[in-house]
């Protein structure tokens, strides 16, 4: 089964970005960094989402991100679905921290239950078909609004598609944007580019900041 094994963020200042992500989230090798200065403006069309087990962990990750230099897009708050907030890293990547729980069961553990890459698609159904034809398996699908793909043991990052306009609204930014997405997906198949311009490349075993 084709799966997503890593996400590479292209950043202007590699050393600064490495310091930020180490301090903010302590992510493993599934999120990598590399230098890149291609032009980009506005919403880049994707978000990263960290799912945790309780509100205390949401607050802990948001707190460490803000201390490391992130800015708040949506303060953490309760909602019908749980508890969460949104921040933007200094390199421009948007991060959503969320849990389905509304009450804490103990102190924050900073354990990440799931890491999800959400791609904003102009036509979710067409992008879904594109990925199915390249070997990805659909785990959840809600018409033309949202699709989540299955991952196996070799795929530590979940991949999902969301209507671009809805994704921008969800994280509190205007949907307008152009230029580079500044993200590259590493997978278990060959190199290709999807209908919305997101590029895939064969995953390689490197350090997170390579």
- At residue 152, the pLDDT reads 67
103-117 pLDDT, tens digit per residue, is 999 999 999 999 999
**Under DSSP, is residue 19 helix (H, G, I), strand (E, B) or coil?**
helix
129-168 pLDDT, tens digit per residue, is 999 999 999 999 998 999 999 986 545 799 999 999 999 9
56-96 pLDDT, tens digit per residue, is 999 999 999 999 999 999 999 999 999 999 999 999 999 99
37, with CB counted inside 10 A (0-12, 13-18, 19+), is exposed
- At residue 8, the pLDDT reads 97
* pTM, two decimal places: 0.93
DSSP string, 66-115: HHHT-EEEEEEEE-SS-EEEEEE-TTS-EEEEEES-SS-SSS-----SEE
């Amino acid at each position: 089964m084709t799966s997503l094994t890593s996400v590479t963020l292209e950043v202007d200042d590699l050393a600064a970005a490495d310091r930020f992500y180490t301090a903010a989230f302590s992510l493993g090798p599934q999120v990598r960094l590399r230098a890149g200065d291609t032009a980009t403006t506005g919403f880049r069309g994707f978000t990263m989402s960290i799912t945790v087990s309780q509100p205390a962990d949401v607050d802990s990750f948001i707190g460490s991100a803000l201390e490391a230099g992130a800015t708040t897009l949506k303060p953490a708050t309760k909602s019908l679905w749980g508890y969460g907030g949104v921040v933007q890293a200094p390199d421009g990547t948007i991060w959503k921290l969320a849990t389905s729980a509304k009450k804490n069961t103990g102190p924050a553990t900073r354990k990440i239950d799931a890491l999800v890459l959400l791609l904003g698609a102009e036509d979710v159904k067409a992008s879904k078909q594109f990925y199915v034809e390249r070997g990805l398996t659909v785990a959840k699908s809600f018409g033309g609004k949202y699709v989540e793909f299955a991952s196996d043991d070799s795929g530590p990052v979940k991949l999902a598609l969301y209507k671009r306009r809805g994704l921008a609204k969800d994280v509190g930014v205007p949907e307008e944007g152009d230029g580079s997405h500044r993200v590259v997906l590493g997978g278990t198949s060959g190199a290709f580019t999807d209908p919305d311009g997101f590029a895939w490349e064969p995953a390689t075993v490197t350090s997170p900041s390579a």
